[in-house]
């Protein structure tokens, strides 16, 4: 089974919220003092691909689009066990809206050719949109299943368990298809020393706009007008006491008094 | 772009009732339609009987797509049905709920209509100058919000649950009901739902609970969650959890609160051994009162909490429960 996983580099979404800053002039966000990481849900998608490869064999190609890509970051999926890394590293890809990015990914997937399954994370930790997977499916004219917690190949089809708010749906789809992956698929594995050594030897393939025929790829359907940090002002009243037990008693008294519980 | 006019809300329904989020969509849809001086339409898949509910909740007109093939939810069929309806109605704005199905349908629907979607909006307004829709949505896991404009019509959005107010239903409101034939060909269904498995635990639903007792990574075990469950029962509430607690199988995945879990707004949210990541807070910041128990005084949760205890939950909780029983 040939699997393509789309995964990007992001600012660390799990750094303490207090280190999150926005540069108002450029509408760009950063996590002060934290290094960039592979997008967490993209990592779950890599994990799902590795599970399929273990069960069925095949090849895993990682597709990463962005600028200022740090090699030690974007190579992590290789260190986890993926076979090949293609970097779409060209400023033009990020100069339009999110549709431009889906266009570039779809063109790269077409250029790559042979694929049975395309995996993405359920939503990126920066845009929180969850649109790239479905957009690629539409651009390629293939089925799309979102929020997978389990992917199982059966003959020339796949069976997917799709998370919902009550439990899950079981979905069957012909291949090729796009599937977006949720955390219920299982914790991404840590790269092994062997994996890290192997990844060192793999040179990423770099494709620019010209390599994938991107001439008409830029989309400007949406525009970011403003990016801001919402203010929330809660003042926490700490329960007094010498011991945790005393504090607990005081909390209970306080909550009862305020008719909160 | 001028041929597009009005606001349309896709009204999801369950058990012969439009969902609360559909009524919330009609509530904000009404406001937007009024500031544009245009009509508000409801789009319903299924039963004509739902039309009057949508009209009572604010719609001027209800379009009903009836087709035997739409009896059961299949995303591929629903996307085609909505595509057809929106092409006929030609609204300037389309609103869906950020529900299990809304998030699944919306991007692909937008592509079929050659436009773009913005998901999970918490604020919507019409720009007084350009008359375009200002779409505010949380990004960076809730650390920030983005205001986005769509330059193409229709401008399609999903709305976050409980972010907008529904109108008080007015059963005397009148409106036109228009039937749209779906004209579906069953071959469009490619990815097919073959089974639906319900896992949700019995008892008070997380979304409806007045009190939620939630546990995080610091709870450390399924046994720990049993203690939270006892406390929740005492307070007639439900148990929630952060993602790591669910990932560790200490509690069902359906208990996850947050950006990628449930978004709830209880009266009281008691967060135990939860650090208060932005993604987690996205799911519970609508709570009226947040109470936090955490051994780390610097934990972010205390920036959101109204009441707090700094200490080990294993010591705090038993004493807290004991005192509540006495009071
Ligand atoms: C795109 C994206 C979406 C996400 N969606 C969600 C989501 O929907 N919901 C969600 O919850 N997370 C989500 N996350 C994960 C999120 O970033 C955090 O990793 C997670 O919320 C942390 O959970 P936690 O607070 O339980 O764990 P931690 O951050 O590890 O915090 C544990 C806390 O427990 C305290 N503690 C430990 N032991 C004790 C003790 N004995 N007594 C008292 N306190 C103790 C510690 O001081 C600490 O503050 C998402 C992440 C991403 C990137």
Nearest CA to B120 among B255, B305, B23, B260? B260
In this prediction, residue B26 carries a pLDDT of: 98
With tokens 């799309």, the residue in question is: A144
Question: Within this chain, do residues B222 and B267 fall inside the same structural domain, yes or no?
Answer: yes
With tokens 């029983």, the residue in question is: B325
Residue ranges covered by each domain of chain A: 2-212, 231-261
The whole-angstrom separation of Cα A104 and Cα A74 is: 18
Residues from chain A contacting residue B276 (CB–CB below 8 Å) = 17
B8: closest CA of chain A, how far (Å): 20
Structure tokens that stand for B274 in this block: 């939860």
B292: preceding bond cis by omega (within 30 degrees): no
Q: Which of B155, B188, B221 marks a domain boundary?
A: B188
Tens digits of per-residue pLDDT, B147-192? 999 999 999 999 999 999 999 999 999 999 999 998 898 899 999 9
In sequence order, the β-bridge partners of residue B239 are B213
Tell me which residues have their CB closer than 6 angstroms to ligand 1.
A 13-14, 40-41, 123, 125; B 141, 216-218, 242-245, 256-261, 273-275, 277, 279-280, 283, 293-296, 299, 312-314
Beta-sheet strand order (sheet of B211-215):
A237-238, B307-310, B289-294, B268-272, B211-215, B238-241
Question: Within this chain, do residues B292 and B182 fall inside the same structural domain, yes or no?
Answer: no
CB contact under 8 A, A247 and B311: yes
Structure tokens that stand for A54 in this block: 């273990």
Question: Within this chain, do residues B210 and B178 fall inside the same structural domain, yes or no?
Answer: no
pLDDT tens track, chain A, 261 positions: 999 999 999 999 999 999 999 998 888 999 999 999 999 999 999 999 999 999 999 999 999 999 999 999 999 999 999 999 999 999 999 999 999 999 999 999 999 999 999 999 999 999 999 999 999 999 999 999 999 999 999 989 999 999 999 999 999 999 999 999 999 999 999 999 999 999 999 999 999 999 999 998 999 999 999 999 998 777 999 999 999 999 999 999 999 999 999
Q: How far, in Å, is the centroid of ligand 1 from the Cα of A237?
A: 22
Tens digits of per-residue pLDDT, B225-235? 999 999 999 99
Tens digits of per-residue pLDDT, A99-151? 999 999 999 999 999 999 999 999 999 999 999 999 999 999 999 999 999 99
C-beta of residue B76 within 8 angstroms of C-beta of residue B188: yes
Phi/psi of residue B326, nearest 5 degrees: -70, -35
Question: Within this chain, do residues B85 and B136 fall inside the same structural domain, yes or no?
Answer: yes
Mean pLDDT of B114-131: 98
Helix (H, G, I), strand (E, B) or coil at B117: strand
Q: Take atom 17 of ligand 1 and give the residue whose Cα is closest.
A: A14
DSSP secondary structure of A75-127: THHHHHT-SEEEEE--GGGGSS-HHHHHHHHHHHHHHH---SEEEEESS-TTT
Query: Angle at Cα B87 formed by Cα B86 and Cα B91, nearest 5°?
Result: 55
In this prediction, residue B2 carries a pLDDT of: 56
Report yes or no on B201 lying in a domain. Answer: no
C-beta of residue B146 within 8 angstroms of C-beta of residue A223: no
Under the phi-then-psi rule, with left for phi > 0, alpha for psi from -120 to 50, and beta for the rest, what region is B245?
alpha
Nearest CA to A154 among A52, A11, A78? A52
Question: Within this chain, do residues B280 and B139 fall inside the same structural domain, yes or no?
Answer: no
Report yes or no on B199 lying in a domain. Answer: no
Tens digits of per-residue pLDDT, B50-94? 999 999 999 999 999 999 889 999 999 999 999 999 999 999 999
Superfamily of domain A2-212: HUPs (3.40.50.620)
Question: Within this chain, do residues B237 and B172 fall inside the same structural domain, yes or no?
Answer: no
CB contact under 8 A, B191 and A230: no
Mean pLDDT of B16-32: 97
CB contact under 8 A, B200 and A167: yes
First to last CA, chain B: 65
Residues from chain A contacting residue B148 (CB–CB below 8 Å) = 222-225
C-beta of residue B298 within 8 angstroms of C-beta of residue B154: no
DSSP secondary structure of B160-220: -TTSSPPPPP-TT---EEEEEE----GGG--SEEEEEEE-PPSSS-TTT-SEEEEE-GGG-
Please, which pLDDT band fits residue B102 given cuts at 50, 70 and 90?
Answer: very high
Please, which pLDDT band fits residue B1 given cuts at 50, 70 and 90?
Answer: very low
What's the CATH number where B157 sits? 3.40.50.620
Question: Within this chain, do residues B226 and B319 fall inside the same structural domain, yes or no?
Answer: yes
Residues from chain B contacting residue A17 (CB–CB below 8 Å) = 143, 276-278, 300, 303
Residues from chain B contacting residue A239 (CB–CB below 8 Å) = 307-309
Question: Within this chain, do residues B52 and B159 fall inside the same structural domain, yes or no?
Answer: yes
Residue range(s) defining the domain that contains residue B47: 7-188
Q: How far, in Å, is the centroid of ligand 1 from the Cα of B276?
A: 6
Q: Take atom 29 of ligand 1 and give the residue whose Cα is closest.
A: B275
Question: Within this chain, do residues B63 and B108 fall inside the same structural domain, yes or no?
Answer: yes
CB contact under 8 A, B309 and A248: yes
Give chain B's domain count. Answer: 2
Residue to probe by mutation, ligand 1, list B103, B161, B275, most atoms within 8 Å of CB: B275
C-beta of residue B149 within 8 angstroms of C-beta of residue B133: yes
Nearest CA to A36 among A20, A17, A64, A13? A13
Question: Within this chain, do residues B155 and B107 fall inside the same structural domain, yes or no?
Answer: yes
Q: Which of B157, B188, B219 marks a domain boundary?
A: B188
Which one of A145, A220, A253 has the shortest CB-CB distance to B151? A220
């Amino acid at each position: 089974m040939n699997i393509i996983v789309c995964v990007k580099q992001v600012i660390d979404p799990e750094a303490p919220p207090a280190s999150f800053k926005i540069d108002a002039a450029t509408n760009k966000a950063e996590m002060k003092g934290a290094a960039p990481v592979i997008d967490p849900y993209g990592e779950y998608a890599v994990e799902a691909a590795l599970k399929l490869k273990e069960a069925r064999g095949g090849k895993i190609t990682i597709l990463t689009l962005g600028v200022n890509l740090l090699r030690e970051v974007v190579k992590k999926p290789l260190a986890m066990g993926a076979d090949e890394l293609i970097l779409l590293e060209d400023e033009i890809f990020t100069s339009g809206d999110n549709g431009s990015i889906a266009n570039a990914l779809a063109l790269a997937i077409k250029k790559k050719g042979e694929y049975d399954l395309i995996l993405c994370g359920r939503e990126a930790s920066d845009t929180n949109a969850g649109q790239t997977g479905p957009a690629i499916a539409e651009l390629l004219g293939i089925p799309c299943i979102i929020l997978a917690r389990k992917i199982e190949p059966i003959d020339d089809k796949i069976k997917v368990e799709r998370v919902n708010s009550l439990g899950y749906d079981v979905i069957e789809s012909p291949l090729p298809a796009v599937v977006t992956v949720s955390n219920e698929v299982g914790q991404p594995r840590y790269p092994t020393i062997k994996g890290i050594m192997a990844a060192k030897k793999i040179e990423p393939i770099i494709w620019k706009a010209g390599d994938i025929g991107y001439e008409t790829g830029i989309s400007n359907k949406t525009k970011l007008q403003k990016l801001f940090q919402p203010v929330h002002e809660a003042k926490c009243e700490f329960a007094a006491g010498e011991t945790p037990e005393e504090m607990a008693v005081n909390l209970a008294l306080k909550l009862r008094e305020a008719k909160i519980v | 772009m001028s041929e597009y006019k009005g606001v349309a809300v896709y009204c999801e329904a369950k058990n012969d009732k439009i969902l609360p989020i559909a009524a919330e969509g009609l509530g904000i849809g009404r406001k937007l339609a009024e500031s544009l001086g245009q009509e508000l339409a409801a789009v319903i898949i299924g039963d004509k009987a739902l039309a009057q509910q949508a009209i009572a909740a604010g719609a001027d007109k209800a379009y009903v797509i009836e087709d035997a093939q739409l009896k059961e939810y299949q995303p591929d069929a629903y996307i085609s049905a909505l595509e057809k309806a929106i092409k006929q109605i030609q609204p300037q704005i389309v609103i869906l709920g950020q529900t299990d199905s809304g998030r699944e349908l919306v991007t692909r629907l937008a592509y079929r209509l050659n436009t773009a979607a913005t998901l999970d909006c918490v604020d919507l307004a019409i720009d007084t100058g350009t008359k375009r829709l200002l779409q505010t949505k949380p990004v960076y896991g809730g650390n920030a919000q983005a205001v986005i404009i769509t330059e193409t019509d229709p401008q399609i959005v999903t709305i976050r649950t409980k972010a907008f107010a529904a109108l008080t239903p007015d059963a005397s409101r009148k409106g036109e009901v228009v039937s749209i034939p779906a004209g579906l060909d069953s071959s469009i269904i490619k990815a097919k739902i073959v089974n639906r498995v319900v896992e949700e635990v019995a008892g008070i639903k997380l979304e409806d609970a007045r009190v939620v007792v939630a546990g995080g990574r610091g709870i450390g075990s399924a046994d720990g969650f049993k203690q939270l469950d006892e406390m929740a029962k005492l307070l007639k509430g439900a148990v929630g959890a952060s993602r790591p607690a669910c990932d560790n199988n200490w509690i069902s995945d359906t208990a996850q609160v947050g950006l990628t879990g449930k978004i709830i707004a209880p009266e009281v949210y008691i967060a135990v051994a939860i650090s208060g990541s932005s993604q987690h807070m996205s799911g519970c910041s609508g709570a009226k009162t947040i109470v936090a128990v955490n051994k780390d005084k610097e934990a972010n949760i205390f920036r959101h909490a109204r009441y707090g205890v700094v200490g080990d939950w294993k010591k705090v909780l038993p004493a807290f429960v004991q005192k509540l029983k006495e009071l």
